[in-house]
Amino acid sequence: MQPASKLLTLTLLIFMGTELTQVLPANPEESWQVYSSAQDSEGRCVCTVVAPQQSMCSRDARTKQLRQLLEKVQNMTQSIQVLDQRTQRDLQYVEKMEVQLRGLETKFRQVEENHKQNIAKQYKAIKAKMEDIRPLIPVLEEYKADAKLVLQFKEEVQNLTSVLSELQEEMGAYDYEELHNRVSNLEERLRACMQKLACGKLTGISDPITIKTSGSRFGSWMTDPLAPEGDTRVWYMDGYHNNRFVREYKSMQDFMTSDNFTSHRLPHPWSGTGQVVYNGSIYFNKFQSHVIIKFDFRTSSISKSRQLDYAGFNNAYHYAWGGHSDIDLMVDEGGLWAVYATNQNAGNIVLSKLNPNTLQIIKSWTTNHPKRSAGESFMICGTLYVTNGYSGGTKVYYAYSTNSSTYEYIDIAFQNKYSHISMLDYNPRDRALYAWNNGHQVLYNVTLFHVIRSEEL
């Protein structure tokens, strides 16, 4: 392990699925309870803290502060233990995978040495497979360093716990402000570490999972990423124009196995397939206009509408497949976004972060990618990903980061099973892509790659 003064780069490769780890709170009578964070309507993290029952026998305010500080550290220890368990579990998987990779490398070398005795087709297949997985070996080596970081956190918390325990017995042995600063610093580093684990760079997309076959060639379907736990309602919108009816299925299971639904009539027809349900409301582009409407399902009324200035509409700057897809609304871990094009940007994609309550533009980014050349696009962790087409062979090949205002060309395989994608959106709660593919409602799981540097913690 290198000295603490040197830069420590930690790389975590996390395979995202639909299941999320839950941290169970400890006994509320014994310690402070910090529940898992969620996002409010503006995309900010919200954390709920429940204080323990206070004793009536506190010696003085200083003793009470120290006891609370100790309890806070103990609660942090529980969080670190959960992170440690997850890291150790993943590390065991990585070690097994590394053994397999090393074994395959050895086998390849043997084949290479005796290639004259092997069939050329088998040799080429093994060599191609080896070239695909060889870059994973250094990644796995870096991944082992994650366990060291967790161990470092555990040691720091244990040291602070020991000091605080001694201080409770011998008042004045340590300066309270100094201890408070140390605990606060450690808490910030741990919070930053946990936040970094929630986002990453897209590195892979799974094979498609067909949920249902229903509707026309074009449409959209979605779940609410801010819905309460246990709320798995599905929203279904068939067609891309001149339609006002949204179907609500009470659960994903109902959507898959039955045709029982509630119908909502919108006050205006929608345009395209870029609708999104977010925090109990549906956001959509009004047909033949650049107006965005927020319709609240709870009140069955429009709660806000606003023009998206300069945005092309009525098939002026659609996706490659057409369908009045000029304005595409989407959400990610950071909130609500709009993807469109303008004459001022020569028909290239413009990306705007929207306030979900007022629909005002918070900030915009202009790209150099023509919108009509894009098959579809979606947001993950502040990065816009664009596909190269909508039919036949498809891949994700362009990425624009709003964090750095830079773009890059990438090559991520994407199976277009039914040969005509007219809707593709990311759901940050499910960590999955929702797609409408030629009358089929499809899901894709995603793989995100995380790079965490020690100076960020």
For the record, the structure tokens of 144 come out as 């082992």
Say if strands 9-15 and 201-205 run parallel, antiparallel, or are unpaired: unpaired
Task: Kindly report, residue by residue over 381-390, the tens digit of the pLDDT.
Answer: 999 999 999 9
For the record, the structure tokens of 276 come out as 């999104």
Q: Where are the domains of the chain?
A: 9-198, 203-449
- Please give the pLDDT value at position 24: 38
- Please give the pLDDT value at position 177: 66
pTM value surpassing 0.85: no
Q: Does residue 408 surpass a pLDDT of 50?
A: yes
Task: Kindly report, residue by residue over 100-155, the tens digit of the pLDDT.
Answer: 777 777 777 776 666 656 566 666 666 666 666 666 565 555 555 665 666 676 67
Residue 44 burial (CB count, 10 A): 11
Q: Report the mean per-residue pLDDT for the chain.
A: 79
- Please give the pLDDT value at position 105: 75
- Please give the pLDDT value at position 373: 96
Task: Kindly report, residue by residue over 326-360, the tens digit of the pLDDT.
Answer: 999 999 999 999 999 999 999 999 999 999 999 99
What is the topology classification, in CATH, of domain 203-449?
Answer: Lipocalin (2.40.128)
Give the mean pLDDT of 212-240. 96
Task: Kindly report, residue by residue over 246-262, the tens digit of the pLDDT.
Answer: 999 999 999 999 999 99
